[in-house]
Amino acid sequence: MNDFSSFLDNLSLEQLVACRKQIDGCIDSARKEHRRVAAAANVHDFVSTPAPLLDMEADDVEYASLYAALDSLSISKSTRPGCATQWFTSTGQSYVWETSAGTPVVKDPKPIEEYGAINNTLEKLNVKLNLDLNSCLVSYFPDGRSTLRLHNDNEDSMDSTQPIVVVTIGSSRTVDFLGAYQPSSTAPALSITPETGSFYVMKPGCQEFFKHRVLANKNTRGPRYSLSFRCMKVAPSLFETLPIPKPTLPSTSPTSVKGIFSQLFRSSSSANVGKQSPPPGTGVGKQPPPLGVGELPPLPDDIPRKGGRKGVRKRTTVLFGTSITESIVGKRLGNKGRTVINVSESGADIKMIEEMVDDFALYDPAASDIEKVVLCFGTNDIKHSSKGVAHLKTPVFNLINKVKYCFPGAVVLVISNLPMKNMYWYTCQNFINFNEILKDVCHKSNSYFVDCFRNFLSDDMYDYNHYLFRDPWHLNRRGLGIFCSILKTVINCDTFSAIIRTEYGYFNQRS
């Protein structure tokens, strides 16, 4: 990696951008190839037919002890649709996955050795199938109303070279398998109904090419326990970690990374004659310090400031927004020598704003002179979201981290969402919840939340002020004047306290 980083240090910005385009093309090709392979995969090659594992007779000691052990677990016996889970492992590590809304679910580990019946079943499967499984996720389905959404168990913490073996105890439920790109409304590629005491195997590759689910069945009344035995990767301890040998990249080999890049830029070498490469340690590719889980690497502290000198105070603010801010003239917002650049696009959602941040950081010369970054999300992510806005918390948090990474040291200002006409039964609640998400994310990411929601409500604070809007989403000249006054206040102030009362709104860092 050191050789590769040194190689990247010697590339110009134009070459790095060309690398990114080349890599994006490779990723797109890989996705198309994966879709083609997944469509051709035969589900019967990856899922085994259910087979008996335990004797279902009432006097069978092994079956009875396992059923009694499961029934004594402190799993929530809620009757709501869905299933409750507990995680048993010998690794001591938690199991983390994401819900359909993108919210992480963390299951604390319970030592599987202390639960004899479950551990005995694990050992029996390892011997019978010649496996090396070390963990078990127990799912409890109270009755036929309980379901399991379409998903795959492809978390990075799981060893993909080992299968997942599922043992059923209790009432039978049908398990559907669909292709990775198959719509949930289509007929499943395979449906199996394992009986109590039986097991089936999801072989390596099943999680990559297929998803599975458990639908509701009103004819099923008894409870079901699903014991999903799997192999979790064991994180090496500090004393077990060995130094990684330094890789070599022969420059003469056309298949090496350096050889590929040299061929890629050979045609453009004449255009770069006379251009000086950035000095080592000051450009893209500098080795960052070790990072924690989920932490983004900071950019180097010795990036040249305005005018090429270190220590010169930055004076540029960039506004990333949607059609609400698209008509604002940036140069009218700045004073005291400040420059404001408006980068807004009609119809932009959170993902598009993140792409705008990337493009600005790469291509705009002003990217090295950013003092403040203002984010205005608009209504495009939430106005038609009938299932709520909880799934937007992670994308907003990732976007703010991206801004901090691209513009180190810049103050991040997040504008509250403005009210709009109540179009659907969920409109008002979505807007209130989304502003709460913005406030919470700003608090956790050490950013600033500019609350101007109340300034665009009617006098009784009950509905949006239609005198300030030209349509259900966009401000008229009067409303835009109030909005710009708020922006000018927070852009041009020189200090930030926890709460700053402005003429038009509140400016908060903590809720």
- Integer distance in angstroms from the first to the last C-alpha of the chain? 43
User: Is residue 159 a contact partner of residue 232, using CB atoms and an 8 Å limit?
Assistant: yes
pTM (two decimals): 0.49
The residues, any chain, with a CB within 8 Å of residue 196's CB and separated by 6 or more, are: 56, 168, 169, 170, 171, 172
Residues 335 and 216 in one domain: no
Report d(CA 207, CA 210) in Å as an integer. 5
For residue range 204-234, list pLDDT tens digits in order: 999 999 999 999 888 888 899 999 999 999 8
Q: How large is the C-alpha radius of gyration of the chain?
A: 28
What percent of the chain shows pLDDT beyond 90?
Answer: 27
Final residue in a domain of this structure, among 230, 253, 277: 230
Residues of the chain with pLDDT under 70: 1-4, 56-59, 76-81, 235-313, 495-511
Domain identity same for 56 and 163: yes
d(CA 193, CA 50): 8
Of the candidates 230, 250, 269, which is a domain's last residue? 230
Are residues 319 and 210 part of one domain?
A: no
Chain CA centroid to CA 281, Å: 30
In a domain, 86, yes or no: yes
Domain boundary among 210, 230, 250: 230
Q: What is the pLDDT of residue 290?
A: 53
Establish if 9 belongs to a structural domain: no
Determine the structural domain holding residue 91 and report its residue range. Answer: 42-230
Query: Tell me, what's the pLDDT at 460?
Result: 78
Does residue 128 fall inside a structural domain?
Answer: yes
The domain that holds 197 is classified in CATH as 2.60.120.590
18 within domain boundaries? no
214 lies in the same domain as 323: no
Residues 218 and 331 in one domain: no
Residue 13 is assigned to a structural domain of this protein: no
Which CATH number goes with the domain that contains 326? 3.40.50.1110
**Strand 411-415 and strand 448-451: pairing?**
parallel
Query: Based on the domain organization, do 334 and 212 belong to the same domain?
Result: no
Write out the H or E segment, with its range, that includes residue 179: strand 175-179
**pLDDT for the residue 81:** 63
Is there a single domain that holds both residue 392 and residue 495? Answer: yes
Same domain, 331 and 459: yes
Residues 326 and 201 in one domain: no
Would residue 340 count as lying in a domain? yes
Asked whether residue 180 is assigned to any structural domain, the reply reads: yes
What string of H, E and C letters represents the secondary structure of 367-422? HHHEEEEEECCCCCCCCCCCCCCHHHHHHHHHHHHHHHHHCCCCEEEEECCCCCCC
Handedness of CA 263, 265, 271, 274 (dihedral sign): negative
Query: In whole angstroms, what is the distance from residue 360 CA to residue 406 CA?
Result: 9
Is there a single domain that holds both residue 355 and residue 219? no
Domain count, the chain: 2
59, part of any domain: yes
Q: Which string of DSSP letters, residue by residue, matches 8-32? A: HHTS-HHHHHHHHHHHHHHHHHHHH
CA distance to 58, 140, 145, 351, 404, per residue, from 173 (Å): 20, 12, 11, 39, 48
Do 200 and 75 fall into the same domain?
Answer: yes
Same domain, 60 and 201: yes
